[in-house]
Structures are given as structure tokens and as C-alpha cells.
């Protein structure tokens, strides 16, 4: 992976997650917390997981090892989640702007939530984060369908066609 590829992947991820937030904001409030068959019990909980996980991984890349999701991910409003996501994306953008291709090959050591230590090249961890959010956006799409709504397209090729 190159720094250019990393920036493109995170640009895509931000674009796709923003589309899901727009879909969630268009729903009646009771549908945000309506029970859904998925890894997380509702749309709001799934969005909170995505934003919280992106925060955790950024903290790890910055040399920290949070043991859990941040407090704000517990029962946030959509507005709070969007604000936290904007902060994560801004901090990550500053981080990405300073990276070199050699940095992406460097190994990041961190601890999982269970305290077990791991280490992987930064570029691989970045691919993981983008893939993780994509996986959960797929769950959001399924949850929206369960509620009778058509989810937005978040395909990478759509992102490219829109000239992002």
C-alpha cells in the first residue's frame, strides 16, 4: 500500500459512511433504535460501533491502546456521532498527511480490548479499518431494508464515478 492508496481508501470510507449517516438522519427517530437482526441491535448502535472502532484504531496508530470504546459511543445521538466522526476524520487526515510509504511498512504494536498484544504493519491495519467499516455499512444496508427502506449505494466504483 502507498500513502496515496491509503488516502484514497479513507476518502472512500468517509464518503460511504456519510451516505449512511444521511440515510439514518432521514428516518423517524424510533427507527434508529428499532430492533434489527444483525451484529448490533439497531442502526444507531451499528453507527456507534463504526465510529468508535475508527477512533480506537486511530488511537492505536498514535501509540495508545484503549481498552474499550470511548464513553461517547455508549448512547449517542446521531449529531454526537457525526461530531465525533468529524473529529476522528480530521485527526486521521492530519496523521495521513504526514505519512510516507515507509511509514506504512512500519510495525504498530498495540493491545486488544482483552489486553493481548499484537503487532502488524500500519498499512495492513489501515486496510483492516476500511474493510471493517465496509462490513458494518453492509449491515446498515440490511438493517435499512429490514425497516422497509432502500439503502444508499456505497460501492467503491460509485465513489470513483462521482469523482471523489
Domains of the chain, by residue range, sit at: 3-161
Q: Is the pLDDT of residue 164 over 80?
A: no
- Taking the chain, what is the end-to-end CA distance rounded to the nearest angstrom? 19
**How many CB atoms are closer than 10 A to CB 149?**
16
Residue 37 has a pLDDT of 87
Q: Which CATH superfamily is domain 3-161 in?
A: dinb family like domain (1.20.120.450)
Distance of CA 152 to the CA centre of its chain: 16
Q: Over the stretch 71-112, which tens digit does the pLDDT of each residue have?
A: 888 889 999 999 999 999 999 999 999 999 999 999 999 999
- Are the CB atoms for 123 and 99 separated by under 8 Å? no
At residue 117 the predicted structure's pLDDT band, cuts being 50, 70 and 90, is very high
The pTM of this model reads 0.96
Residue 18 has a pLDDT of 98
Question: Helices in the chain by DSSP H: which ranges?
Answer: 3-25, 29-32, 43-61, 78-98, 101-105, 122-146, 156-161
Residue 154 has a pLDDT of 97
At residue 67 the predicted structure's pLDDT band, cuts being 50, 70 and 90, is confident
Amino acid at each position: 500500500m502507498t500513502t496515496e492508496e491509503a488516502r484514497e481508501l479513507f476518502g472512500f470510507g468517509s464518503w460511504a459512511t456519510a451516505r449512511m449517516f444521511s440515510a439514518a438522519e432521514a428516518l423517524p427517530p424510533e427507527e434508529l433504535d428499532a430492533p434489527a437482526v444483525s451484529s448490533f441491535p439497531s442502526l444507531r448502535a451499528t453507527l456507534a460501533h463504526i465510529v468508535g472502532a475508527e477512533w480506537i484504531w486511530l488511537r492505536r496508530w498514535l501509540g495508545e491502546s484503549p481498552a474499550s470504546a470511548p464513553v461517547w459511543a455508549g448512547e449517542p445521538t446521531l449529531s454526537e456521532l457525526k461530531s465525533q466522526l468529524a473529529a476522528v476524520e480530521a485527526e486521521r487526515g492530519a496523521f495521513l498527511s504526514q505519512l510516507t510509504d515507509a511509514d506504512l511498512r512500519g510495525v504498530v504494536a498495540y493491545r486488544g480490548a482483552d489486553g493481548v498484544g499484537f503487532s502488524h504493519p500500519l498499512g495492513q491495519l489501515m486496510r483492516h479499518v476500511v474493510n471493517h467499516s465496509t462490513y458494518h455499512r453492509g449491515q446498515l444496508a440490511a438493517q435499512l431494508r429490514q425497516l422497509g427502506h432502500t439503502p444508499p449505494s456505497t460501492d467503491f466504483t460509485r465513489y470513483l464515478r462521482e469523482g471523489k
